[in-house]
Structure formats: structure tokens, C-alpha cells
């Protein structure tokens, strides 16, 4: 797999996992440590069994941070909520293939808002569902757990899925970032990177692991990236 690896792995902080009683301090650390994205998990309680991170909360965070946003909409028919968010040109907005009746139309709507666009796939969703829209997207999120709560175990077949998706992207010479989301732990990160991940969405199993400080967790992830992919980040 080494020949498929691309430099400049990015870290996206899953804000649903932040220490909410110390969110301001942790946001400052993310800024100081040059985290690449703030990852916003938007759940509607229908597609995924939880509710979290509505537009009012996200928009307030954005007023005090200039870190680009990585929106992950886990909601049925996401286009109905596009206008409630204050997107900027630095942002990426990803919607689920499983949630849009007309995926291409929804991606066009997002593109017209001036953002980068992405599609997320649940563990059991075949890669072939992207066949006729893959040229129109900037990011693919491979879910390595089923959408919902944090702290779930990795679905092991998804490591092979990352590899297969990366091969498709490279063979087609497409400029698409491959993101992985779900149990992105210190133990699993090496396998995800070796399979070809470009963006790591860090949650409770790494970035916001309570056994170490946030700063130490960030440094540990950066060390793993450097050791495996030779990045200077």
C-alpha cells in the first residue's frame, strides 16, 4: 500500500467529543496546535440515533475560531437545512449517500454555496454508489463505525474499504480527500494511514482521549502520522 500514500495528512477535531465544560480552553488549544478542521457532526435522531450540534451552537463556535469547518450532516434529506448554517469558502460540507433522494442535486446546491462538497458512506454501503457522482466531489468520508454515538468499536472490514476507495481515486486521477471517521484510535490510526487515509477525524479514542491532555493527544497523533507517512506537520 505504500506506493498509494500521499503526504500532508490532516487532523479534523470531532467537536461532539469536546469537553463541554472546558470547551473554550480546548478550542484555544486546537487553534494553537494548528488543527486543520473542526468536524461538526450534525445528527437528526432519525438517520442516526442521537441529536447533537445544531446550527446555533456551531455558528457560535465559529465566531471565536478561524479554523475551517468540516460539516458532516447525518440527517435525512439534508438540503432542507443548508440555509441554516453560515458556510464559508474554507469549509467542506459532507452529506450521506444514504440520506439524499437526489444526491447529485443536493451536491449542486452545496457547490452553489461556494463550499467544497463531500459524500459519506456507512460501513455497509458499497463504494459503487459513488460511480456517477465521484467526479463532482472533493471529499469522501468512510465511516468506520455506524453513525450515531461516539466510542463504538471499529467495523474491521472498513480498513479494506479505505484501501479500495483510495485505489479508485488514484486510478481515476481524481483530486479527492479521503477522510475516515469512527474509532480513529491510536491503535487504529496506523492501519487507516497505511490504507490511504488523508484526513483523520479524531474523537474520544484519540484526540479527546481523557487519559491524556488534549495537547499530548494531538502530539501523539502527529507523531504517528510522521512515523508512518514521513510528514512534517
Catalytic residues: 41, 181
Q: How many angstroms separate the CA atoms of 71 and 162, rounded?
A: 20
What angle, 0 to 180 degrees and rounded to 10, lies between the N-to-C axes of helices 214-229 and 23-32?
A: 30
For 85-123, the DSSP string reads S---TT-EEEEEGGG-TTHHHHHHHHHTTT-EEEEEE-T
Please name which of 174, 216, 214, 171 lies closest in space to residue 14, comparing C-alpha atoms: 214
172 near 190, Cβ under 8 Å?
Answer: no
Q: How many angstroms separate the CA atoms of 117 and 136, rounded?
A: 8
Q: How far is CA 94 from CA 20, 91, 229, in A?
A: 24, 10, 26
Amino acid at each position: 500500500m505504500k506506493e498509494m500514500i500521499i503526504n500532508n495528512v490532516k487532523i479534523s477535531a470531532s467537536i461532539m467529543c469536546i469537553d463541554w465544560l472546558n470547551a473554550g480552553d480546548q478550542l484555544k488549544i486546537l487553534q494553537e496546535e494548528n488543527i486543520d478542521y473542526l468536524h461538526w457532526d450534525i445528527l437528526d435522531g432519525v438517520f442516526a440515533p442521537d441529536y447533537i450540534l445544531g446550527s446555533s451552537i456551531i455558528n457560535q463556535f465559529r465566531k471565536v475560531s478561524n479554523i475551517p469547518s468540516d460539516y458532516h450532516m447525518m440527517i435525512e434529506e439534508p438540503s432542507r437545512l443548508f440555509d441554516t448554517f453560515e458556510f464559508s469558502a474554507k469549509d467542506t460540507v459532507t452529506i450521506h449517500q444514504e440520506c439524499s433522494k437526489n444526491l447529485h442535486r443536493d451536491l449542486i446546491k452545496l457547490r452553489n454555496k461556494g463550499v467544497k462538497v463531500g459524500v459519506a458512506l456507512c460501513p455497509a454501503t458499497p463504494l459503487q454508489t459513488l460511480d456517477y457522482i465521484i467526479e463532482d466531489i472533493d471529499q469522501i468520508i468512510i465511516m468506520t463505525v455506524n453513525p450515531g454515538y461516539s466510542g463504538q468499536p471499529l467495523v474491521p472490514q472498513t480498513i479494506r474499504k479505505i484501501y479500495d476507495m483510495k485505489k479508485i481515486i488514484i486510478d481515476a486521477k481524481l483530486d479527492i480527500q479521503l477522510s475516515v471517521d469512527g474509532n480513529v484510535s491510536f491503535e487504529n490510526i496506523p492501519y487507516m494511514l497505511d490504507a490511504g487515509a488523508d484526513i483523520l477525524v479524531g474523537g474520544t479514542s484519540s484526540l479527546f482521549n481523557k487519559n491524556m491532555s488534549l495537547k499530548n493527544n494531538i502530539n501523539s497523533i502527529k507523531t504517528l502520522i510522521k512515523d508512518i507517512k514521513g510528514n512534517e506537520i
